[in-house]
A and B are shown apart, each in its own frame.
Chain A
């Protein structure tokens, strides 16, 4: 199994500011994903973080709002830009190995509150 360290675990931010969330894995993984869990709702995929190239965003999510970096096979960041109260959610990193779709692991999440 993969051990995922996600930081920060929680933060309270002012509207209009940006927050960068880090996801560090203890082993090389081919797949890294970022999900959002809005209050009382399910998890929604934001994007697939691609190593060495631009992330692949799902419908409704754009790079300007959620820029993602993935410089290597063990690390990724998600930035929530120009935040508004509607961005208050839990953001989760998920990792897996290509072809082993049944083995996806999740970080403990970042709980973000925007005032």
Chain B
């Protein structure tokens, strides 16, 4: 079946630290991969995406590369800010499965000044 596994949180970092949140997946088809972010008190927002192997998604200083050989889509940011404190969800969708998203369990990030 299709599934997404993320590293457990919470993750606590100091401002300007380097961030990595690990995400691995299993998929029976050809997945597109996503990172969604949920800021406190807000709805879920798409952060970045990659639709095929070796694609790199990027947005707001965050990056993730679609690695088919390791079935991974790790989220990275070189220098986090307090405003990056949120819950991050890795997700996938399979092209021929009607747009349904399968989510990882979410990783809470807390950035301290």
A105 to chain B, nearest CB (A): 8
B4 to chain A, nearest CB (A): 8
Q: Is the interface of B mostly helix, strand, loop or mixed?
A: strand
Contact B95 A101 (CB under 8 A): yes
B69 sits at the interface (CB 8 A): no
Q: 26 A-B Cβ contacts within 8 A? A: A33-B99, A41-B106, A42-B89, A42-B103, A42-B104, A43-B89, A43-B103, A44-B103, A45-B100, A48-B100, A92-B44, A94-B101, A96-B99, A101-B32, A101-B93, A101-B99, A102-B51, A104-B46, A104-B93, A104-B101, A105-B46, A106-B36, A106-B43, A106-B44, A107-B43, A108-B42
**Docked complex: B19-35 residues within 8 A CB-CB of A:** 32, 34
B66 to chain A, nearest CB (A): 12
Q: Give chain B residues whose Cβ lies under 8 Å from the Cβ of A45.
A: 100-102
A interface, how many residues as a size bin? 20 to 34
A86 to chain B, nearest CB (A): 19
Chain A residues in contact with chain B, CB under 8 A? 31, 33, 35, 41-45, 48, 92, 94, 96, 98, 101-102, 104-109
B77 sits at the interface (CB 8 A): no
Identify A42's interface contact among B43, B49, B106, CB under 8 A: B106
A3 to chain B, nearest CB (A): 11
Q: Give chain A residues whose Cβ lies under 8 Å from the Cβ of B93.
A: 101, 104
B98 sits at the interface (CB 8 A): yes
B14 sits at the interface (CB 8 A): no
B81 sits at the interface (CB 8 A): no
Q: Give chain A residues whose Cβ lies under 8 Å from the Cβ of B103.
A: 42-44
> Of B32, B36, B46, B101, which is in contact with the most chain A CB atoms at under 10 Å from its CB?
B101
